[in-house]
Amino acid sequence: ERHAEFGILHIDAHCDLRDAYEGFEFSHASIMFNVLRDVPSVKKIAQVAVRDFSGTEAALAASCGRIATFGDLSLAAAMFRGETWDALCRRIVDALPQEVYVSFDIDGLTFENCPHTGTPVSGGLTFNQAVWLHITNPPFFMSIPAVTEQRPGYSMNSWSSAAEQYKQTLSLISL
């Protein structure tokens, strides 16, 4: 109720557009589906670096006017053709309304930035690309992101690394 309309900048390896995952309607794999269904004040979701999704999710993303997809392969292709990351970031930001909530999943980054994620997927944004995308976004509001999909049991270094990357990102955003 606080914001009449807003967008979501969704950085993730996955679209999270399943109506349910393993029978669970409120799964992490369903969060953006639930947002589309239950939160009409979300006018646009810009999905960035997505690269692991079902055919049903791809069809929903392609047919829904409230979703702008900037898939990992299409971003890479644009850069191979000479488009700068700055220009791509501006295109992403231009797809969103003025007020934006950021949903930043650790597996939206490249594998070397999150080696112990529970859902490893090749590709993704570099740390600097993620920071630059946040910097080019006009003033926005955001929730402090959780370190999600990090697989425990390897060492605290992986958790510390992920937490440190978020801390660095947040400090750079506030410049």
pLDDT digits (tens, 9 = 90+) for 111-135: 887 777 777 889 999 989 988 998 8
User: Which pLDDT value is given to residue 165?
Assistant: 59
User: Which pLDDT value is given to residue 59?
Assistant: 98
Identify the residue with better confidence: 12 or 152. 12
Instruction: Name residues whose C-beta falls within 8 Å of residue 28's C-beta, 6 or more positions apart in sequence.
Output: 16, 21, 148, 149
pLDDT digits (tens, 9 = 90+) for 142-155: 554 544 555 555 54
Average per-residue pLDDT for the chain: 83
Residue 172 has pLDDT above 60, yes or no: no
Identify the residue with better confidence: 38 or 163. 38
Closest CA to 124 of 102, 141, 145, 107: 107
